Copies of this chain bind each other. A is one copy, B any other.
């Protein structure tokens, strides 16, 4: 079973990486960019074909490793 996990910074959390990208885009001559916030995405392949089991595994993956739940929020979308 395939799934995509997206991890993004919670609102209000400063994103220095995003700020650096904004600055770099300006110096590269790309105008009209008001803000950029960077996140992570993970394309995951799970052994199970059971949806509930897949959701439990994805939740454990996020809570234990993929997301720092103090400053980040996550969501996962199971394909199919």
Interface residue ranges, A against B (CB under 8 Å): 6, 8, 18, 21, 24-25, 28, 30-48, 53, 57, 60-61, 64-66
Q: In the complex, which residue of chain B has the Cβ closest to the Cβ of A35? A: B45
Give the number of copies in the complex: 2
Extra A-B contacts (15), CB below 8 Å, given A25-B64, A35-B45? A21-B66, A25-B61, A25-B65, A31-B57, A33-B46, A33-B47, A34-B45, A35-B44, A36-B42, A36-B44, A37-B43, A38-B42, A39-B42, A39-B43, A41-B41
A53 to chain B, nearest CB (A): 7
A57's partner among B30, B37, B65 (CB-CB below 8 A) is B30
A39's partner among B24, B31, B37, B41 (CB-CB below 8 A) is B41
